[in-house]
Structure 1
Amino acid sequence: MPNPLKIATLSFWHVHAGDYSRQAQEHPGTELVAVWDDDEARGKAGAESFGVEYTSDLDALLASDVDGVVITTGTDVHRDIMVKAARAGKHIFTEKVLAPTVAEAEEIIAATDDNGVKLTVSLPRLAHGYTQAIREVLDSGRLGQVTYARVRLSHDGAIARDGNAEGWLPQRFFDERAAIGGALTDLGCHPVYLTQLFLGAEAETVSATYRSIAGRGLEDNAVVVVGYPNQTIGVIEAGFASPNPFTIEIFGTDGTLTYSDAGNVLKVGDEELPVPGHSLDPFGQWVEHIVNGTRADENISRALELTRLVVAANEAATTNQVVAYNR
């Protein structure tokens, strides 16, 4: 690529803003050129850490020759900022979830399509080697009819320790207005889209239980149960209050599959299977879509269904009722 794509990071609200900014610096096809943030101190600190310009004027930035933007704002402003960026012709790489509601997610997707903008949502575990290996096992039929799947992902970011009075996760992650939801809406996105990958997106019912171990304002401990028309059950677990290994369990009429990132061990029954390396990460996929003029069809579809299930889970937890998964 003769000229790297010029990329701007929009906000250091999210804890992964630095990770994606680093990718923009390190990818041979992109160049990080600017940071915008509605919090001047936070934005200037982020820009300084990467040696690029900070601006408080989003409209001016979107009117510049920037090619694409990384969206790491609060979830509540995703729709407004992404639609504005799309109308300015800027390609969009965004942190999950895509939007607080399905309607807003659909509006974002429509705006990117209408303006020829390439959209990719960060769903990194779809590209991980264990995911590929698990899909191959499921496709082979070795487990028989799948009856149950459980995916758990958690860390201890909400828990005070090592002299940190609140934990390493910023308090803004527990702001109901900006974050929309706690552990399930943030970290739980990964178990959600993996469960949908393994069991399908066409669920029937969703129930949820949320609890707050640390008492910081939103749930830091969440379990979601998804019921399917074929009677399969999916269990999604997420937390900010315990540093458990990432775990996948899938049960079928003829066998059991387990995966743990403690040792990167994948087993079907007692047989340990090789785990391949990761494929191209979402940021790299985004760059390829821009360069090749292609649309991230599967990524966008899965991001929309992810939003749909998270919205249903939050409703189920709030109402303490089983809710229909409406497509």
Structure 2
Amino acid sequence: MVQRIGLVGCGVISDIYLTNAALFRDIQFTAVADARPEAAEARAQTYGLKALSLDELYESPDVDIVLNLTNPDAHAEVSLRALRAGKHVYGEKPLATTLEDGEAIMRLADEKGLRVGTAPDTVLGAGTQTARRLMEDGTVGRTLSGVATIMSRGMEHWHPAPAFYFKPGGGPVLDMGPYYLSALVTLLGPIDQVIAMGQIGLPERTVTAEGPNVGQVIPVTTPTTFHALLGFRSGAQVTLLASFDVWKHGMTPIELYGTGASIRVPDPNFFGGTIEIADNRETWNPVEAGDERMMVLNYPPAAPRYANYRGLGLAEMAAAIEAGRPHRASGELGLHVLEAMLGILRSAETGEVVRLRHDCRQPAAFTPDERRALLSDGERSARRTAA
């Protein structure tokens, strides 16, 4: 049975979800809503959907899953309202901005027998999943350590309204951390403990991006550079560098070092990329992730450079609901990652080791055949014809 999707939050990221929806077999968008009715109307007209008020969408009999694409500080409120209305919910990252809110979401879902899914679903793509296969088939051996890097000069030079990122609830860990920590948990299993240091790099940021806020001076009130050590239950130890204060660097997104080989994992913000393996001291050897529909570069539309198939996790959750099995981009994973990120922030403030309380199962591996099975009939036929 196709799961009917009602979208809440018609900002920039909603476009890629709505565009990608036609790729997938098990989801169908039926309605959109936003606190700004004009934003909902614009999306509805573009994609041939109904624009509803927020109350109407939560109560609509034509909505099975609420897709929560609001700002992070509204994630908990929207998800809780959807669950109270008897809807499954899938949301953009992070699950919430406080551990208490994340726990409340998962508790209510459990009470009502409903599903919670959360981004990132990039970890279900061929990039991360091919790396996982190489780590599980003995190629890498036992992973001992690694480095993950999230480093940029911030977003005031490209984002038209970047103030949120420099206030509590923002910062590089909560903004980009879900991609990297979700990838690491997918590859290594759950995190056991974290310890970190942090600092505010620049006390002010000036918006240079074109738009209504150009020239605005933003006071920075949350740390923008972190060095953290993540201890995994498997025994692996990974250093995480996260910063909005770096002009340029030469680090790869994720490198992991095993007893059999070193492996470079592609950018977990996207679905494809090149995996590299080194089992000697001389060269990195590329590993093909395969010829898949969701490896085709499609973003940005005008000049594609990335494989961006956001919505894959939503479609996988819809299929899991129908099959009665666990889904992979789960609220359980989202809560575990949220606790780890908040632990990094707390450790940076207190200097203490933070041990995680919320357990998490390592999501099941996701094969090319399983990804292919989620495609709509038209997409599968087109892929066979192209082959």
Q: CA deviation at 1:238?
A: 4.0
- The 5-angstrom pairing of residues 41-56 of structure 1 reads 41-55=38-52
Q: Is 1:81 the equivalent of 2:78?
A: yes
- Ranges in structure 2 where 5+ consecutive residues have no aligned partner: 206-217, 296-310, 358-387
Partner of 1:168: 159
Q: CA deviation at 1:307?
A: 0.9
Q: Give the partner amino acid of 2:254.
A: I
Corresponding residue to 1:200 among 185, 189, 198: 189
Per-residue Cα deviation, 1:115-137 (whole angstroms, up to 9, x for no partner): 23232212223212232232233
Partner of 1:233: 237
- The 5-angstrom pairing of residues 255-266 of structure 1 reads 255-260=261-266, 264-266=274-276
Contact 1:154 1:187 in 2 (8 A): no
Q: Structure 2 CA distance, aligned partners of 1:78 and 1:99? A: 6
- Ranges in structure 1 where 5+ consecutive residues have no aligned partner: 161-166
Contact 2:274 2:286 in 1 (8 A): no
What is the percent sequence identity of the aligned residues?
Answer: 20
Corresponding residue to 2:17 among 16, 20, 25: 20
Matched residue SS, 1:188 = helix
Alpha-carbon distance change, 321 to 49 in structure 1, aligned in 2, over 3 angstroms: farther
Q: CA deviation at 1:60?
A: 2.4
Corresponding residue to 1:62 among 52, 58, 64: 58
Matched residue SS, 1:150 = strand
Q: Structure 2 CA distance, aligned partners of 1:315 and 1:31? A: 41
Between 1:95-104 and 1:213-222, the stretch displaced more is 213-222
Between 1:186-195 and 1:147-156, the stretch displaced more is 147-156
Q: Structure 2 CA distance, aligned partners of 1:203 and 1:53? A: 45
Q: Give the partner amino acid of 1:62.
A: Y
Q: Structure 1 CA distance, aligned partners of 2:74 and 2:327? A: 22
Q: CA deviation at 1:192?
A: 1.1
Q: Structure 2 CA distance, aligned partners of 1:200 and 1:27? A: 28
Q: Give the partner amino acid of 2:186.
A: L
Q: Give the partner amino acid of 1:79.
A: A
Matched residue SS, 1:204 = strand
Matched residue SS, 1:203 = strand
Q: CA deviation at 1:185?
A: 0.7
Partner of 2:213: none
Partner of 1:312: 343
Q: Give the partner amino acid of 1:235.
A: T
Per-residue Cα deviation, 1:174-212 (whole angstroms, up to 9, x for no partner): 2636xx222211222111122233333242332142545
Contact 2:5 2:64 in 1 (8 A): yes
Q: Structure 1 CA distance, aligned partners of 2:87 and 2:22? A: 18
Partner of 1:163: none
Q: CA deviation at 1:229?
A: 7.1
Partner of 2:385: none
Tell me the number of residue pairs that the alignment of Structure 1 and Structure 2 aligns.
314
Q: Is 1:325 the equivalent of 2:355?
A: yes
Q: Structure 2 CA distance, aligned partners of 1:51 and 1:230? A: 48
Q: Is 1:137 the equivalent of 2:128?
A: no
TM-score normalised over the length of structure 2: 0.69
Q: Give the partner amino acid of 2:330.
A: N
Between 1:104-113 and 1:34-43, the stretch displaced more is 34-43
Q: Is 1:182 the equivalent of 2:182?
A: no
Alpha-carbon distance change, 246 to 143 in structure 1, aligned in 2, over 3 angstroms: closer
Q: Structure 1 CA distance, aligned partners of 2:136 and 2:234? A: 17
Alpha-carbon distance change, 32 to 113 in structure 1, aligned in 2, over 3 angstroms: same
Q: CA deviation at 1:312?
A: 0.7
Q: CA deviation at 1:85?
A: 0.8
TM-score normalised over the length of structure 1: 0.80
- The 5-angstrom pairing of residues 82-101 of structure 1 reads 82-101=79-98
Matched residue SS, 2:286 = strand
Q: CA deviation at 1:233?
A: 2.3
Contact 2:95 2:331 in 1 (8 A): no
Matched residue SS, 2:78 = helix
Partner of 2:289: 275
Partner of 2:299: none
Q: CA deviation at 1:226?
A: 1.6
Contact 1:192 1:236 in 2 (8 A): no
Partner of 1:164: none
Q: Structure 1 CA distance, aligned partners of 2:64 and 2:199? A: 40
RMSD: 3.3
